[in-house]
């Protein structure tokens, strides 16, 4: 394994992500960012959420961050896919007793649905979803909830940053080996649903400060919901997303999200920006408008088979 340094290893994001355009898309798209870092995307054929999942290999164990939006292994064979990837990695890096940790960026249903596929997997730990379970597993003290926890995969020490605001138990994972900051639903090119504005501003301050002192190559969230047209998102529920915006964001865009959240202090509502849309403690009619647009799009898609 590469050592953890201040000079991250360059990986490849030269990939066209499946976005529901072809009926022949596999249920899970697999892309090797490096030989030790794999990005997976669930097909929109099984869930319009089409979440991204991350598999990171260390010397002693691997981390799978999130398990997607579908539990049925016939429709979404995540366990089989991860087993194949782990077996392939072990063929190139033989060792005994290799373990797997299954954790979550946060506990919403589209990130935890396939947990049960790993329940009987040998040498596997599935981390709980609630705040106490997350704190206990990663060693985040209850009296110091802002602490950054180290999580060692063996020769690859990740940094786990508590990130509430979208979800109370949300975390961000920083990988010094690649410089990637994995932000879950806290920061992504899409709709940023903030349910606790005070916690979210503190989280964004924490992430911006962290990115200022550490080399961050890419900010990778768990969904793409924006089109390539600035400020325009796909309707919720869309099962085809032609012309998606890129997955990766930058530290500068991280700062833009923080600044947008600060600008909304004391206010609720929706604000559109080029690369994201901030749903800042959304009001009931904000969510109704979002869902109504989605239902209209789905009805149109059924009629025109799109």
The alpha-carbon radius of gyration of the chain (Å, integer) is 19
State the pTM of this model: 0.95
Cβ-count burial 250-259 (b if 16+ within 10 Å, e if not): ebebbebbbe
- Dihedral angle sign, alpha carbons of residues 165, 166, 167, 172: negative
What would the pLDDT profile of 86-128 be if each residue is shown by its tens digit? 999 999 999 999 999 999 999 999 999 999 999 999 999 999 9
Residue pLDDT, tens place only, 229-243: 999 999 999 999 999
Pick the CATH number of 28-304 from 3.60.15.10, 1.20.140.10, 3.30.499.10, 3.30.750.24: 3.60.15.10
Under DSSP, the state recorded for 249 is B
Tally Cβ neighbours within 10 Å of residue 74: 7
> How far apart, in whole angstroms, are the C-alpha atoms of residue 38 and residue 44?
19
- Cα angle 211, 212, 213 (rounded to 5 degrees) comes to 90
* Residue 22: DSSP 8-state: -
pLDDT tens sequence across 41-89:
999 999 999 999 999 999 999 999 999 999 999 999 999 999 999 999 9
Q: 98, 82 in Cβ contact below 8 A?
A: no
Domain segments of the chain: what residues?
28-304
């Amino acid at each position: 394994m590469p050592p953890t340094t201040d000079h991250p290893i360059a990986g490849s994001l030269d990939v066209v992500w499946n976005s529901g355009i072809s009926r022949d898309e596999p249920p899970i798209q697999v892309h090797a960012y490096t030989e030790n870092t794999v990005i997976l995307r669930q097909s929109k054929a099984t869930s319009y959420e089409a979440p991204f999942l991350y598999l990171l290999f260390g010397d002693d164990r691997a981390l799978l961050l999130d398990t997607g939006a579908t539990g049925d292994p016939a429709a979404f064979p995540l366990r089989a896919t991860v087993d194949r990837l782990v077996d392939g990695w072990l063929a190139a890096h033989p060792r005994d007793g290799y373990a797997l940790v299954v954790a979550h960026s946060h506990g919403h249903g589209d990130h935890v649905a396939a947990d049960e596929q790993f329940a009987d997997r040998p040498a596997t730990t599935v981390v709980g979803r609630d705040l106490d379970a997350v704190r206990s597993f990663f060693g985040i003290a209850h009296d110091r909830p802002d602490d950054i926890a180290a999580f060692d995969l063996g020769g690859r020490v990740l940094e786990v940053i508590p990130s509430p605001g979208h979800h109370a138990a949300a975390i961000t994972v920083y990988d010094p080996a690649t410089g990637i900051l994995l932000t879950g639903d806290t920061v992504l090119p899409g709709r940023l649903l903030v349910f606790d504005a005070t916690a979210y501003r503190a989280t964004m301050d924490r992430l911006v400060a962290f990115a200022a002192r550490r080399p961050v190559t890419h900010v990778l969230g768990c969904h793409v919901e924006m089109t390539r047209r600035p400020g325009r998102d796909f309707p919720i529920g869309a099962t085809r997303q032609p012309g998606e915006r890129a997955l990766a964001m930058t530290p500068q865009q991280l700062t833009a999200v923080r600044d947008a959240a600060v600008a909304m202090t004391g206010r609720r509502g929706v604000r559109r920006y080029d690369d994201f849309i901030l749903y800042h403690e959304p009001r009931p009619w904000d969510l109704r408008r979002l869902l109504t647009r989605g239902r209209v799009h789905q009805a149109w898609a059924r009629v025109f088979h799109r």
